[in-house]
Amino acid sequence: MITTESRIKEMISMPKEVELARENDIRNVKSTVRKDSKEYSDALERIRRKYNAHNDEVKHYSDYMDINILDNIKR
């Protein structure tokens, strides 16, 4: 199965509803936590990790697909 570059880009881009949820999470933290507190930076770090997990998984898949495409070309 060969995945086109446009399909991989589509998979890498964060779905709109996920992007909106991320922005909402950040907005909630900024409105409820003092910016100079450790809790503020910890909360933003948790949000970053939560949404980067999606990106890391997709990046791994796209790297895997690149390797398979190269293998198929060599054959």
Can you give the three-state secondary structure of 37-64, one letter per residue? Answer: CHHHHHHHHHHHHHHHHHHHHHHHHHHH
Residue 18 near residue 54, CB atoms below 8 Å: yes
d(CA 71, CA 24): 42
> In this model, does residue 35 exceed pLDDT 60?
yes
> In this model, does residue 2 exceed pLDDT 70?
no
pLDDT per residue as tens digits for the range 37-67: 888 888 888 888 887 765 555 555 555 555 5
Give the domain range for residue 52: 5-74
Quote the number of domains for the chain: 1
More confident residue, 75 or 23: 23
